[in-house]
Structure 1
Amino acid sequence: MQRESRTGTFKVSHETIVNPVVRENEDDHARAFADAQPFRHVVIDDFFDRAYVDQLLQEFPAFERGNFIGDDGHAGGKSTVDAMARLGPAYRRLDEVIQKPAFLDYIGRITGIEGLLYDPFYLGGGTHENRDGQPLSAHIDFNYHPSERWHRRLNLIVYLNHEWEERWGGLLDLYRDPYADPEPAKSIVPLFNRCVIFETTEHSWHGFRQICLPPDRPGLSRKSIALYFYTKDRAAEETAGRHTTHYVNRQLPAHFAAGHTLTAADVSTLHDLIGARDGQMKMLYEENSRLLQAQDKGFAGHVLYLLKRLYMRYRRHTAHR
C-alpha cells in the first residue's frame, strides 16, 4: 500500500519509519524485554529513522495547543495532544503506520504479546510535554480501555529531547513497589529518539521525579510521544477489576533515619512530600463530593435517598429490639 506525502511517495509500513539497525536487532530486543526487571520492558536507542524523527520534533505542537488545564481548572505544567493525525505529515504518517498489522506484529514479536490493538482515540496518549517543576507520581495505568472492552497491554514512549541530564530530574523511574521502596529499581534518561516499551500490568509502577532545569535552560521542556496498545483478551491470572490510574506519592528518602540532621534540601523535600499528599487527599475528597452530589440529583438520586432513609430506619428499629 502506498500513499502520497509532501515529500513524495512512501510505503505505509513500519519499515519506513523504524531505524533499519533497530529492525535487525529484533531478537535482541525481545530477549531484553523478557528478562528486564522490575517488570518486562526494553530500551531501544535511535528507534526511528533519523530524518523522520527530526520531522516529528519539528511538528511537535506548541504547549498552549494541548490540554494543559488541570482537574482544578488551572493551567498546569503538562500539556497533551491526542489528535496526532492533525499535527502534520509526520504525525499523520505515524498514525497510519502504527495501526497496520505489520507494525502491531513487529511490536508483538518483541514483547511476546499477540493480537495487539491500536487505539484510534489516543486516550491518555499522544504528544506529552512537561515543563520545569512538573513531577509525575509513581503509578500503574488504567487497565481497560475507557470505551471498549480491551485490556491495556503496552506503553510505547519515544522521547524527543536533544539534551537532558540526570540531575535535571524527569527520568523515567521504574519501581518494584512504590509503597515500600524509597528509590526506583531503574531510571531511564529521556534522550532524543530513545524508545521505551513496557508491559502494562498491576505492578508496572512508573513515573518521574520533579523536573528541575537550570536557569540557563529557560525554554527547555520534556517532550515525548506516548502510544498505548491493547488486546481483546488476557490471561485470567493477569486481570483485575476495572480501575483508573492508581498514583502513589514518593516515600521518604532512605537517608531519613534516626540521628540524621536535616539539611535545607531535606526540609524542602519534606515540604514537597507533605504538600503532594495534602493535594492528593484534597483531590480525592473533592472527587468523592462530586460523586455524592451527582447521586443526589434527578429521579435516581431521589430513589437512592429514600432507600437510604428506609435502611437507616430499619437499622434504628432493629437496634432497639
Structure 2
Amino acid sequence: MRSSSGVSIIHPRVRESAEACQAEFVSAAPFPHVVIDDFLAPDFAAALLENFPAFERGNSVGDDGKPGGKSTLAKIRQLGPAWQQLDNAIQSPEFLEAISKLTGIDDLIYDPWYLGGGTHENRNGMSLDPHVDFNYHPSERWHRRLNLIVYLNPEWDAQWGGCLELFRDPHADARPARSVAPAFNRCVIFETSERSWHAFSRIELPPEHANLTRRSVALYFYTKERPAAETAPRHTTYYVNRQLPMHLDEGHTLTRSDVAEIKQLIEQRDGHIHMLYAENTALRQAQDAGLTGHLLYLAKRAFVRFRK
C-alpha cells in the first residue's frame, strides 16, 4: 500500500522553502539545478543507509561486460521497510507535486522500473566522464525531465573526489562550472536535457579510508510532454572524454601525478573507443542475422554487381 503522505520522508524545512528552491533551480548555471542539504527526514535517511545493499548484491557488470567498481540495484523494494517506504512515497501524488514545486516542472511521472536508477555504489578509483543522459524512457514514450540524487555518505571529504560535476560544455571546458561533494543526506536535483552535462570526479581515498565507497540513490522522473524547443530525437547516454587539465600547458614540467593523470585519461579514451567498436560489431552481427540479414546481403550483392 502507498504511504498516506508521500512528503513525510522529506524534511519539513525543505517543503517550507520550496519557493526559494525553485528560484535557485530555474536560475542556476550551467543548467537548471538545486542542491539541498538535509533533504530527507533525518531518521529516514539513517534507515536507508542502515539497509543499503552490500556491493556484491547489486549489478557490477560494466558496459564492457566485465565486473567493475560500480554496483547498482534497481529492485529497491527488496531492501526492507525503509526502501519500500521510499518507493511508496516517490510514486505518490503528494511527493510528485512537492518535486514540481521545487523545480517548476509539472505533471511528473515516477519510473516503477528504476531503469538506470536505484542504489548506486562506487569503489575507490572510480570516476564518471561527462555525459548527457538518454532522453526518453527506454520502454515508454516519456520525456526524461529530472534526476534526483540523494547521497548517503556520512563520512566524506571533498578532497577525496567523487564530487558531482556540472559542465557548461565538456568539449571545451577542462573544469566543471560547479562541483558538489556527496555529503550525507545532500540532494541534487537537476533538469535532464541536451545540455545537462554531468560527471563525477575520480575517487581517491586516503589509505586509512580505502574501504569506503560512494553511495547514493538515483531517482529519475519523466513527463508525457515537453516543450518543442527542448525536444530532440531519441538517443542513448552520450559521453565525452575529459579534457587535459588546464595546468598542462607549454613550459610545464610534468610531475609524477601529471603522468598518472595523463595515462588515466588515455586509458579511459581507449576504453571508450573499444566500447564503440564493440557496439558497432554487435550491430553488424545483428544486422547480418536471420532472414532480414540474408535479404540485406542479397540486396548489397545485387547493388555492387549491377551498379554499372
TM-score by length of 2: 0.98
Q: Give the match's secondary structure for 2:99.
A: helix
Please say if residues 132 and 196 of structure 2, whose CA atoms lie closer than 8 Å, have aligned partners that are also in contact: yes
Q: Match for residue 242 of structure 2?
A: 250
Distance, in Å, in 2 between the alignment partners of 1:227 and 1:15 is: 15
Are the equivalent residues in 2 in contact too, given 1:12–1:93 (CA < 8 A)?
no
Alignment of 1:65-104 (within 5 A): 65-104=57-96
* Aligned-partner SS, 2:29: coil
SS at match of 1:216: helix
Q: Structure 2 counterpart of 1:55, which letter?
A: A
Q: CA deviation at 1:266?
A: 1.0
C-alpha distance in 2 between matches for 1:36 and 1:147: 31
* Distance (Å, rounded) in 1 between the aligned partners of 2:135 and 2:304: 36
Q: Provide the rounded CA distance (Å) in 2 between the counterparts of 1:88 and 1:292.
A: 43
Q: Which runs of 5+ in 2 are unaligned?
A: none
| Deviations 1:269-309, CA, capped at 9 Å, x for gaps | 11111111111001100110011011111100001111111
1:265 positional shift: 1.0
**SS of equivalent to 2:299:** helix
Is 1:163 equivalent to 2:168 in the alignment? Answer: no
CA displacement at 1:256 relative to structure 2:
1.4
Cα distance, 1:210 vs. partner? 1.1
What residue is the counterpart of 1:106 in the other structure?
98
Identify the match of residue 42 of structure 1 among 14, 34, 38. Answer: 34
Matched to 1:160, the amino acid is: L
Match of 1:189 among 170, 181, 191: 181
- Please tell me the root mean square deviation across aligned C-alpha atoms, in Å: 1.1
Pairs within 5 Å for 1:1-321: 11-315=3-307, 317=308
Tell me the CA shift for residue 263 of structure 1: 1.1
What's the offset of the Cα at 1:243? 0.5
Runs of 4 or more above 3 Å deviation: none
Instruction: Return the offset for 1:248.
Output: 0.8
Q: How far off is 1:102 after superposition?
A: 1.0
Of residues 281-290 and 259-268 in structure 1, the stretch that sits farther from structure 2 once superposed is: 259-268
Q: Secondary structure at the match of 1:155?
A: strand
Deviations 1:36-79 (A, max 9, x none): 10000000000011011100001100000000012333210000
Letter in 2 for 1:27: E
Aligned residue pairs: how many?
A: 308
Q: Which moved more, 1:20-29 or 1:135-144?
A: 20-29
Please say which structure displays the higher CA radius of gyration.
1
Equivalent residue number for residue 6 of structure 1: none
| Mapped partners of 1:113, 1:213: distance in 2 | 37
The alignment-based identity, stated in percent, is: 59
Cα contact 2:135–2:236 (8 A) shared by 1:
yes
Contact between 1:12 and 1:96, CA under 8 Å: does it hold in 2? no
Q: Which runs of 5+ in 1 are unaligned?
A: 4-10
